Structure 1
C-alpha cells in the first residue's frame, strides 16, 4: 500500500481513503488533497512519487502544474481589486486598457473577460509557446482583434487568452503584473505556496506532468467561430521558459494545500486563516452569473460566474447552491463552497483523459468524500 503522509481530522477519514485508492490503483503517480473548513485545514495529505520513474517521493512541499485551476487565482486578484474600489467589474475594459477599445471592443466589460463571454477565445493567428511567453505580444494582439461573437451574450471558453486579458487589466489598474500582485496581496498574506511563475530556486520541488492518456476533446460540437487554434502540449510545461513566464490561465504551480488555502478565502466569505482579503459582498461577486448555456468552445452546458464555474443541474455532486469551482487539464480540481465554508483541492502529476465538467473520478472521489464528512454525500 502507498504511504499517505500529512494530517487528516477523523471526520474526514474517507478523504484519506479516496487518495489511497487512486494511488494504490495506479490512477495516480503522486498527488495531494486538502480540505479547509472555516478557513482552517482539516485535511492536508500527500503520497506517491514526483517523477514517472517513481524514484523521488512526493514531499510536503512538492508543487506541480495545476493547469486551468490557475484561472481561479487570477480571478481572485480581480475580485480583490474590485472590492477595494480600484476597478469596476461592470466597467468597459477600455477604461483601464485604452488600446483594447479597437475593433469593436469598446463595450466589452471586465466581467465579460472573467466569464468567458468576451468573444476572444483565441488569437486570430495561432501563437507558439515562445509567443505565449511574450506578455506584450500576446496582449497587444488581443487588443487589436475583433470579438468572434457579440460580447456578453454567450460563453466560449477562453482557455489561454483568459489569463492575458484579465492579467492585463490587473496590470493596468495596479501597475504590477498579476503574478506579482498575487504573490504580494494573496499568497503572501495567506502563507500559501502557490505561484504564477517559478524562479530557478523552486525548480527542484516541481513534479513534472506525466502524460498517461492524451486528454480527450470536450464532448459536443465546437462552433466554428470559436474553434481554438493555439495549441499547447503537456510537455511544454517542462520547459524553463514556460516556468519563468507568466501564463496566468494555465501555468500556476502549487499543491492541494496551497490551492485550497487560497480559495478558502472565497469559501469563507472573504476571509481565511485570520486574514480578510475581501468583504463578504466582494466574495459573493464571484457568484454573479455571466453565462448559463451551451459553451461555444467546450460544446457542453456551463453556468459561469465571475471567474469561476457555478453549481448547476449538470453538476450533481455539488449539493450547495453557492458553490464555485474550476478544474484543470488532466484532473486537478478546486471547489469553494460558500454555504459550507469549505474549500477542497485535488492536485496530481499524472494527467488522464477527462470528460467535462468536473469529470475526473479521482477529484470527484475526493470531493464526494469531503461532502460525506459533512453529512451531505
Structure 2
C-alpha cells in the first residue's frame, strides 16, 4: 500500500472535489493500517470531523444487513438454496431461493401497490401481492429500497426481533463496531449533516438518469418503491436515524465498517467458514435492469462484474475477483478483499449523484494496491 499516494488522494477530495467532511479507514490482516479524518460535520464549521464522527451511509447498509441474515441462516442450518417460502410462506415467488433474493434476481424491485416507507405492514402486504417485474431467475436488477424490507421480514420471521437489533447483538457488539441500523438517541450528537449532490449535464445524459427521470419506467418505480424518505433533508432527521431501514438506514464510522469487512473476508476470525462463499461467491452478473450498467452480486454484496473470458470489467472492489462490498448513495464505499487481507471504507457528508463509486474513493483504492 502506498500510504503517501493514498493520503494525497484523500487531500485532493478536499482541494479539488468540494469534500466537506470525510473519513477513510484501511485494515490489513486484522489491524487498522491507515485512518484519516478531516473536515467538518456541517457547512457552518461548528463541529470538526473526527474518526469518531458518525454519518448515514445509505446502501452501504445492505452489506451489513445481508451478513446479519446469512449468520441467522447458518445458525439454523439453512443455506442460500433454501426457498424464501420456507421462512415466509406468503412470499409471492414460490420457487425463489434466498440466494436469488439476496442477489437481486427475483424481480421485486418495484411495487405496483402504493405503500409508504414508514408503514411496514403496508409494504410487506404490497410485496406479498406483487407480480415479479421480470421472470425470476432470468435476469437481475438492483432492489434499491425493497431489499431492506425483504431482509427485515426474513429476520422477523426467524427471530421475532428487528434486523437492527440482531445486527447489534450478533455482529456489531461482539466486534465492537460503531455502526447501527437504528441509531439510539444517546449517539445523536455524533452524527454529521448530509448535503445533496448537484446534477450536471453528464449525469443527466447517462442511461440510468434518463430512466430515473422517465415517468413509470422500471428504474423510476424501483427508486420510488416504497414511497417516502427521498430527500437528503429527511435523512438528517432523528426519525430517519432511528428507522433501522436495512437497505439505507445504516449510520456509523468508516473504521467500524472497514473492520466489519475484515471479519467478512476472514482477516479477523469471526464468521463461520461456511458463510464465506455465500458472501464472496458471484450469483448474478451482467446488465442490471435497474442500474442500467454491468453489475454483479453475491448473497447481498456487490462484486466487480467479469467479461466473457473472466476478466474484471472494472475495479470498484480492488484487484481480486473475490473482493466484495457495497457502495452507498452519494459516494460511500466499503469492501473486503480475501486474497490480499485488505478492507476499506470511505464515508463523507458532501454527496455526489452517481449510484456507483466515484473518483473520491476509487483513487484511494488504486493507491491501496501500489
SS at match of 1:366: helix
Residue 182 (str. 1) matches residue 167 (str. 2): yes
Residues 1-377 of structure 1 correspond to what in structure 2 (within 5 A)? Answer: 12-100=3-91, 102=92, 105-127=93-115, 131-214=116-199, 216=203, 219-220=206-207, 222=211, 224-225=217-218, 227-228=221-222, 229-230=224-225, 232-268=230-266, 272=268, 275-279=269-273, 281-312=274-305, 313-316=312-315, 318-354=318-354, 357-358=356-357, 360-372=358-370
User: Greater CA deviation, 229-238 or 171-180?
Assistant: 229-238
SS at match of 2:85: helix
Give how far 1:327 is off: 0.8
The whole-number CA distance in structure 2 between the counterparts of 1:61 and 1:137 is: 37
Pair 1:316–1:260, CA change in 2 (3 A): closer
Give how far 1:224 is off: 4.1
Q: Is the contact between residue 27 and residue 262 of structure 2 (CA under 8 Å) also seen in structure 1? A: yes
Pair 1:171–1:214, CA change in 2 (3 A): farther
Aligned counterpart, 1:4:
none
The whole-number CA distance in structure 1 between the counterparts of 2:174 and 2:205 is: 37
Give how far 1:339 is off: 0.7
The whole-number CA distance in structure 2 between the counterparts of 1:126 and 1:25 is: 42
SS at match of 2:90: helix
User: Greater CA deviation, 21-30 or 91-100?
Assistant: 21-30
* Gap regions ≥5 residues in structure 2: 306-311
Aligned counterpart, 1:375:
none
Give how far 1:126 is off: 4.2
* Gap regions ≥5 residues in structure 1: 1-9, 373-377
Q: Is the contact between residue 64 and residue 255 of structure 1 (CA under 8 Å) also seen in structure 2? A: yes
Q: Is the contact between residue 218 and residue 298 of structure 1 (CA under 8 Å) also seen in structure 2? A: no
The whole-number CA distance in structure 1 between the counterparts of 2:265 and 2:21 is: 26
Cα deviation, 1:132-171, whole Å, max 9, x if unaligned, reads: 1232222222122221111122111100011110121122
The whole-number CA distance in structure 2 between the counterparts of 1:344 and 1:77 is: 20
| Number of aligned residues | 350
The whole-number CA distance in structure 2 between the counterparts of 1:370 and 1:332 is: 17
Q: Is the contact between residue 346 and residue 366 of structure 1 (CA under 8 Å) also seen in structure 2? A: no
SS at match of 1:262: helix
What is the TM-score of this pair, normalised by structure 1?
0.87
SS at match of 1:46: strand
What is the TM-score of this pair, normalised by structure 2?
0.88
Pair 1:245–1:357, CA change in 2 (3 A): closer
Give how far 1:56 is off: 1.4
The whole-number CA distance in structure 1 between the counterparts of 2:361 and 2:65 is: 22
Q: Is the contact between residue 133 and residue 246 of structure 1 (CA under 8 Å) also seen in structure 2? A: no
Cα deviation, 1:272-310, whole Å, max 9, x if unaligned, reads: 2xx52221x311222332211111111111122111111
The whole-number CA distance in structure 1 between the counterparts of 2:155 and 2:5 is: 40
Q: Is the contact between residue 79 and residue 283 of structure 1 (CA under 8 Å) also seen in structure 2? A: no
